Structure 1
Amino acid sequence: MAIIDVFNGDADGICALTQIRNAQPADSVLVTGVKRDIQLLDKIDPQAGDKITVLDISLDKNRQGLIKALDAGAEVFYSDHHFAGDIPQSDRLTAIINTAPDVCTSILVNKHLNGQFVEWAITGAFGDNLKNSAQALAKPLNLSEQQLSSLENLGIYINYNGYGSNLEDLHFTPEDLYRQVSPFVSPFDFINEGRESFEKLENGYQSDMASAANLQAEFSNASVAAYILPDAPWARRVSGVYSNDLANGTPGRAHAVLTVKANGNYLISVRAPLENKVGADELCRSFATGGGRAAAAGVNDLPADQLSEFIRRFSEFYG
């Protein structure tokens, strides 16, 4: 029997698992990857009696792996906020799935654990650009503005670290970063005691965002704007948080950030307008490698010859 933790390599996945393993310590096998590496259940060989925790990856994209695990006799705890489709029925599956645009996996896990490690849930929500939800969770704690800002920054930095086309693009592998933050009951303890790692994330984030500061939109109107980033490690790292910054800066507009890949195709991050957080997943799923959630979604590999078609459909969808 093995204990296996399968989790998205972004802030939400890392903060959700940190809560669970603070509540239920276990020496588990970790299965994760870069932010867009989401078909993670395909990477395991489940056996009868295994206890598998799956966090912050679409059930719809992992359906075959989930059914394989259940058929093998494994017990699965699955929590997520992305499009799921039909959820398999099994007495060995516990599924906590909510696709509402103001919810993330860290928030769902926080509720499941009755708020035991709510500061990590706040950090994960900030990382997923759910500022209002994070602030609502934080309100009963009476945190100072400086403390709240520290949690927001940490969430953003952990989330930023997950973006890249491969692990070599990242400052820390998601597994390594999880191992660094997860021993701490509170994110404030990590910020204080893991200062060197925190500052590495902070310096990398600030440097990469400075590189993106002068980008001009490839296409824009009152409803949408699309930006193209070059094929470079800093651009791949910054694509998600840059998308969030654009969304926060113009909340009435939808944004798409397209990063040129080595094969000439595009990796795309889409943010629905913050004032109308719907449809990003629907738009992106209409392309072969697309998926995500209503407020934030993406396409992993848009062929170069479909660029104009994507921009047309993006503009029409939110127009």
Structure 2
Amino acid sequence: MQYDIFNGDADGIISLIQMRLAEPKTAQLVTGVKRDIELVKQVQAMANDELLVLDISLEKNLAAVNVALANGAVITYIDHHRAGELPVSTRFTAHIDTAAETCTALIVDKLLDGKHRDWAIAAAYGDNMVAVADALADERGLPLDDKRFLRELGTLINYNGYGVTIDDLHFAPAELFQMLVQYASPFVLRDDRTSPFYQLQGAYAADMVNVAAQSPYYDDDTLLLYLLPNEAWAKRVSGVLGNVLANQHPQRAIAVVTHNTDKSFTVSLRAPLNNRQGAGDICSQFATGGGRAAAAGINALSVSDLPQLIDTIKAYYQ
């Protein structure tokens, strides 16, 4: 049995698109909302099962990976998040790079020798690696309209991944992957007026109207923080809003904090674009936090811990 296990954001989905365009396989898809990262434990792997794991932290999945390996599974792990200790097994292959200027889709792009680079560029844009994506697009000689399209496509796929449950999303990530992998080139999406691109484009525009009515909760030279209500639109825009604000204010850390039904907060943190490090370390100080150097989050922050989070961010970046 082949299992394709991947993050439900742009980086995870597009990483798998590249892999399956290069090597088509029938697989059981295992994914979820962007913050659903402990995915390997959903698989009851047996001897000779093959697991392809994309864009989820090995550190958060290590116990389940070790169980799968003990059962005789073969695992290929491709990621750019904190990894922790790697398993030692001849049936485990890792391609992990935690550098701030890469993402999983770019790691896959290297493994495939750039075979589907336009898709990789879209993923880099979706992961807010704008300078890296621009450089790759310029190397390809892409005109400005094509660059703008890939940037919007990556942003929209990433936007679709944010929510507490699948019901918050416009497309379930597995469904969106299955739709997008039908397009050998991302530019074909632009030509197909029935494609998911246009559906997500309209939904994103509607959600961003709500954002325009919001004001910062905390705003100084070090940190810009927005506190959003417990609404589906707020959960959907939390990640892309962080990226938009990060690009507008490259000297400041950006936090988008969203009310949850259980009275806790979900936090999306972006390190300053001019200092893309520390976000994962900050969020990991809280019980349900983690991530990578440039971007990280906390799934359930208690209301009483919000002042501590603000102080921690300010102390780190001042």
TM more than 0.5: yes
- In 1, the alpha carbon distance for the partners of 2:316 and 2:226 equals 17
1:213 aligns to what? 212
Change (3 A) 1:55 1:240: same
Shift of 1:258: 0.3
Which amino acid in the other structure matches residue 86 of structure 1?
E
Q: Percent identity?
A: 44
2:202 aligns to what? 203
1:77-156 aligned at under 5 Å gives the runs 77-156=76-155
- In 2, the alpha carbon distance for the partners of 1:227 and 1:148 equals 29
1:1-319 aligned at under 5 Å gives the runs 2-193=1-192, 195-319=194-318
Which amino acid in the other structure matches residue 37 of structure 1?
D
Deviates more, 1:134-143 or 1:189-198: 189-198
For each residue in 1:101-144, what CA deviation from the matched residue of structure 2 results, as whole angstroms up to 9, or x when unmatched? 11000000000011000011001101000011111222222111
Shift of 1:70: 1.1
Which amino acid in the other structure matches residue 156 of structure 1?
T
- In 2, the alpha carbon distance for the partners of 1:192 and 1:93 equals 40
Secondary structure at the aligned position of 1:235 is classed as helix
Secondary structure at the aligned position of 2:132 is classed as helix
Structure 1: runs of 5 or more not aligned: none
Shift of 1:193: 2.7
Which amino acid in the other structure matches residue 129 of structure 1?
N
Shift of 1:317: 1.6
For each residue in 1:5-36, what CA deviation from the matched residue of structure 2 results, as whole angstroms up to 9, or x when unmatched? 00000000000000000011001000000000
Contact 2:78 2:96 in 1 (8 A): yes
Contact 2:122 2:133 in 1 (8 A): yes
- In 2, the alpha carbon distance for the partners of 1:281 and 1:62 equals 16
Deviates more, 1:130-139 or 1:43-52: 130-139
**CA RMSD between the two structures:** 0.9
Shift of 1:310: 1.3
- In 2, the alpha carbon distance for the partners of 1:317 and 1:200 equals 40
TM-score (ref. length: structure 1): 0.98
Shift of 1:194: 5.9
Secondary structure at the aligned position of 2:47 is classed as coil
Secondary structure at the aligned position of 1:33 is classed as coil
- In 2, the alpha carbon distance for the partners of 1:112 and 1:68 equals 27
Contact 2:189 2:195 in 1 (8 A): no
Deviates more, 1:33-42 or 1:178-187: 178-187
Secondary structure at the aligned position of 1:195 is classed as coil
Shift of 1:296: 0.4
Shift of 1:190: 2.5
Q: How many residues are treated as equivalent by the alignment? A: 318
Secondary structure at the aligned position of 1:308 is classed as helix
- In 2, the alpha carbon distance for the partners of 1:115 and 1:266 equals 40
Shift of 1:197: 2.0
- In 2, the alpha carbon distance for the partners of 1:293 and 1:28 equals 28
TM-score (ref. length: structure 2): 0.98
Runs of 4+ in 1 over 4 A off after TM superposition: none
Which amino acid in the other structure matches residue 295 of structure 1?
A
- In 1, the alpha carbon distance for the partners of 2:69 and 2:115 equals 29
For each residue in 1:221-269, what CA deviation from the matched residue of structure 2 results, as whole angstroms up to 9, or x when unmatched? 1111111000000000000000001100000000111000001100000
